[in-house]
Chain A
Amino acid sequence: MGRYVIRRLLQMIPVFIGATFLIFVMVYALGDPVAALFGDKAPDPATAARIREDLGLDKPLWQQYLHYMGNIFRGDFGTAFNGQKVTELMATAFPVTAKLTLVAIVIEIVVGIALGVVSGLKRGRPLDTSLLVLTLIVISVPTFVSGYLLQYLFGLKLGWVRPTVSTDAPLNELILPGIVLALVSLAYVTRLTRTSIAENARADYVRTAVAKGLPRRRVITKHLLRNSLIPVVTFIGADIGALMGGAIVTERIFNIHGVGYQLYNGILRGNTPTVVGFVTILVLVFLVANLLVDLLYAVLDPRIRYA
């Protein structure tokens, strides 16, 4: 087990280097950001040259990358154009997005799995069919439609919640954005759980458990659900990273100043340190989440062993 974890951690190094390099190249390809800093005016050549020099933009790409990576290992993620340290931006953005992701994941797990179990056990019945249709609708509606719609309905028309989230982003204000963010994934979780449950419900070990005279509740939670959750856990694990990085639209609609907001600003202004810094952390979150998922397999299914 220990050796397995170490091996996986070592594998992260090349993935990390490759990912940061790709992002670096992509942001670089967006073009020189300095001219846009001057608005409608033509950039003053001397000032623009000095800014380029300070940001290292006058050097070839590979030198910029090496310089940047060297700084990262010293804990220096660079500076955004507005003069803030990228680490400072991270310190304010990540907790907010982590909270939002947490809310979304909890909703996804609780509602998604519950609906999936119900629907899987009632396979082919009207309830199952209507849930399937419902998930299809949810999957096909883009986030910015559901976001604005729910915001208008609950925030403006009914006035149950604040339509936007305040600066310190308390949990109760994050519930609506959390739902919006979770909706699509929730539909996937429901469908995955349903299929898995429906399949396993006819497995030998379930029949044995029922034949032993175990109560139905125990058969479902201990035997059926536990074995059916493996694909769901895989999905949710991968989804943590996707939700953290993919909250750009949701964060914009509800004015949440998290990772999505910083990434949006960074890309719009072509600010390499912000974008690469944030994406690097997201890549790490993704890798760690994947590792945790793999370790969870062993917990869920005793047949799986790591060495």
Chain B
Amino acid sequence: MRGATHAKWAACAVTVALAATACGGGGSGGGSGDGSGIVRSSWGDPQNPLEPANTNEVQGGKVLDMLFRGLKKYDPKSGEAQDLIAEKIETTDSQNFTVTIKDGWTFSNGEKVTAKSFVDAWNYGAHVDNKQNNAPFFSNIKGYDEVHPEGGAAKAKTMSGLVVKDDKTFTVELKDKFSTWPETLGYQAFSPLPEAFFKDHDAWLSKPIGNGPYTVDSYAKGSEMKLRAWDGYKGEDKARNGGVDLKVYTDNNTAYTDLMAGNLDLVDDVPAQQLKNVKADLGDRYINQPALIIQTLVFPMYEANWSKAGMEKVRRGLSMAINRDEITKQIFEETRTPAKDWTSAALGDKGGYKDVCGDACTYNPDEAKKLVAEGGGLPGGKITISSNVDTGSHRVWMDAVCNSINNALGKGSCTVNPIGTFADFKNQLGAYKFTGPFRSGWQADYPLIQNFLQPLYYKNGSSNYGKFDNKAFNDLVDKANQETDQAKATEDFQNAEKILAEQMPAIPLWYQNGSAGYSDQVSDVTLNQFSVPVYDQIKVN
């Protein structure tokens, strides 16, 4: 097989030289539209071991998306949370939930997916000894504080809020009312785990076993993972290809070169340097769509000279001094979309996306100057913007934003403070060291408006780095969480957002788009809201 592939590559190389055409199909195991072809896709080495509750970045998430199916699944198009393994999730008080699961789901090793598979997995994810990154996702379940105390050893093995009733049913008791809690269950941290995970953890990690449409064929850590379609998969989203080969690239430029040379079918991160050529290179095989990612400039509200009364005018003025349209066009080649609220355009109107920011997010240098003057001017006469600059063209847009502010408010109003590494930046954030606005990127864990607001701006929110605390805002969020009607809850969140528009504790800059390019050997390539390709739908020609 190996030799045959090489021979094919030799032939391919000649073809490329002569006709400059890609020849990906050659390596795709001879799939000719019959659903057996292999998709060759770029990958990045996951940062943490591939456990569902320990994966919080896209690269690991990609694999989990193929390997696991949970109680709910977000529709790749609308983002709506639909029941998948859950037959029904019932509640009368938005605090006690009864979960019933469907019959017939199994893991690829033959084990049945039962209520216990979920409860065990969640208890594992929450327990402090297991050091799972996503443990806080279980924090609203009753008994979390016993298994995951803020300091010291755990006082219990399992959370008292989770009770298995029988094979098909379990109950969940939350600490507080949280009406949209079932909608969060599409997140990968809530995936079920088989017994095999607990019995032989090391073996499981070297070859993960899940209940999704794919199984792991081989996994060379740090370089390649081969996933194959699982025949025994019973769900409706069965794989439409024979499998996916994920190959680790350290440099997205190299991955792009490989796509051009026909060695790869799909790259899900088009390098910034290639954005100018991508249309000519790929034509309509280039995807660029808003994702659930927003970049903001957060004000240090823990600093008195930023939070005192009247400063909201200065903060609004600064927001108006930024020419978002120009920057997203010139620097990002429209791979960012100018922000109009504190969520993301990818949420859609139904999910709660709405132009709440209005004038305050529209470039208006005259008004900006006026507002800043009315508010008493910039603290100390100038501001310093901070961000890490090791990824994401952060240095470039920081300079552009500062230029824009300087043009509007006068020279010397704005300087940048570039920080070398993300780790260093995170440490300074955590120590509340910044005295001026700093960058904050946020990728939603689930397509819910709640996830864009509560962790970031609610009192003591888990990622409220600016320490914004506004009673009216907090009350509206509380009200939204208690609402049993989802549309009403969304409305409350939008009202809460209006307070952000007045107070401007963080300037919305732009929504980050997901991008991908693919070869002419594959079709039906789409990205979900998390900018992860929907692998099971890809067809190999």
A residues adjacent to B (C-beta < 8 A): 30-33, 35-47, 49-51, 54, 81-84, 88-89, 92, 148, 151-152, 155-156, 158-164, 167, 251-255, 257, 261-262, 264-265, 268-270
Please give the distance in Å from A88's CB to the nearest CB on chain B: 8
The answer to whether A261 and B250 have CB atoms under 8 Å apart is yes
Residues of A contacting B302 with CB < 8 Å? Answer: none
Residues of B contacting A160 with CB < 8 Å? Answer: 13, 17
B residues adjacent to A (C-beta < 8 A): 9, 13-17, 45-49, 56-57, 128-129, 131-133, 135-136, 148-151, 205, 220-224, 247-251, 253-255, 257-258, 260-261, 263, 390, 421-424, 426-427, 429-430, 440-443, 455, 462-465
Listed by A's residue number, 11 A-B pairs whose Cβ atoms lie within 8 Å are: A30-B421, A44-B133, A47-B148, A49-B151, A51-B131, A54-B131, A81-B47, A83-B48, A84-B221, A155-B261, A167-B223
Residues of A contacting B254 with CB < 8 Å? Answer: 163-164, 252-255
The answer to whether B148 and A46 have CB atoms under 8 Å apart is yes
Q: A82-B48, A254-B254 are in contact. Are A36 and B13 (CB under 8 A)?
A: no
Bound state CA distance, A161 and B6, in angstroms?
Answer: 12
Partner of B222, one of A43, A89, A148: A89
Bound state CA distance, A84 and B17, in angstroms?
Answer: 41
Main secondary structure of the interface of B (DSSP, over half): mixed
Q: A83-B49, A159-B17 are in contact. Are A46 and B250 (CB under 8 A)?
A: no
Partner of B151, one of A37, A46, A159, A255: A46
Partner of B426, one of A36, A46, A49, A265: A36
Q: Across the two chains, which residue of chain B brings its CB closest to A92?
A: B222
Q: Across the two chains, which residue of chain A brings its CB closest to B430?
A: A35
The answer to whether A36 and B422 have CB atoms under 8 Å apart is yes
Q: Across the two chains, which residue of chain B brings its CB closest to A170?
A: B6
Bound state CA distance, A46 and B132, in angstroms?
Answer: 10
Partner of A44, one of B13, B135, B249, B257: B135
Q: A44-B135, A45-B150, A253-B251 are in contact. Are A163 and B257 (CB under 8 A)?
A: yes
The answer to whether B250 and A164 have CB atoms under 8 Å apart is no
Q: Across the two chains, which residue of chain B brings its CB closest to A88?
A: B221
Q: Across the two chains, which residue of chain B brings its CB closest to A44?
A: B136
Bound state CA distance, A160 and B220, in angstroms?
Answer: 28
Residues of B contacting A253 with CB < 8 Å? Answer: 251, 253-254
The answer to whether B441 and A40 have CB atoms under 8 Å apart is yes
The answer to whether B131 and A270 have CB atoms under 8 Å apart is no
Partner of A32, one of B46, B149, B257, B427: B427
Residues of B contacting A269 with CB < 8 Å? Answer: 47, 423
Q: Across the two chains, which residue of chain A brings its CB closest to B15?
A: A159
Q: Across the two chains, which residue of chain A brings its CB closest to B248?
A: A257
The answer to whether B423 and A41 have CB atoms under 8 Å apart is no
Partner of A35, one of B255, B427, B443, B462: B427
